[in-house]
Structure 1
Amino acid sequence: MTQAACRALPDRPQLLSASPLLREAVLRAALWPVAEHLTAQQTHIAQVILDEIVNSPREEFCLPLPSDSRLLAVAEAILKNPSARESLSIYAEQASFSERTFSRWYKAQTGFSFRVWQARARVL
């Protein structure tokens, strides 16, 4: 794809609602061998992918923070170093919770499981 073809794409990461067509086109493209040039069919599919991305509805991307000070300390540590891959037990221990209680409280206060919240923090 050329830079000109990609100009309509967002310039920053965004959360979008992928249509079934977009999902299938991406799955097809993922099977292509690495090559310098696309075939005519691949070019058409790539254009469909671009069109679908540009025209897909955007979803709000939010990352709510927990209100409990212990959970908030964990959240802030993750936001400072989103690539950290500590185990759930380490984070629970830092917050003085059992893993199960930590998980329940995190979900209750953020609306996301801890792992989903952590993955979203990495996207930011």
Structure 2
Amino acid sequence: MAGLEKLWSSPPTNLKIWNCTFRSSASSKPAVEIARSFFTANKPVAAICHGPYLVVSADLVKGRRLTSYWGDGVPDEITQAGGTWEDADVVVDGNLVISRWPMDLAAFSREMMKLVAGRA
């Protein structure tokens, strides 16, 4: 965990991609602070699979459309936090790009490139 904390404590740049496999990783205070700072600054944020756990932990889901891995309770947490869960290969909601799992990487990458290119 020390290495992870060091990574998360580095200054945010222009893009953050999250894939939190464990629920406890998503509730890390530095990770939550970085996610909030990116949303506040309207910087691109991306998540794959269980990554939306971080968005939920940071209270950034309400009123947003998201997707995620369909098991392990992730969709339930999204809807309980006020988000709308969709079963789609990729969902884009403002500065947020989310995919369900690694098999959706083509769609995820396409949408991330569009988002980043639009900010250049």
Superposition TM-score, scaled by structure 2 size = 0.23
Bigger strand fraction: 2
Say which structure is richer in helix: 1
Larger RCO: 1 or 2 (CA < 8 Å, sep 6+): 1
TM-score, normalized by length of structure 1? Answer: 0.22
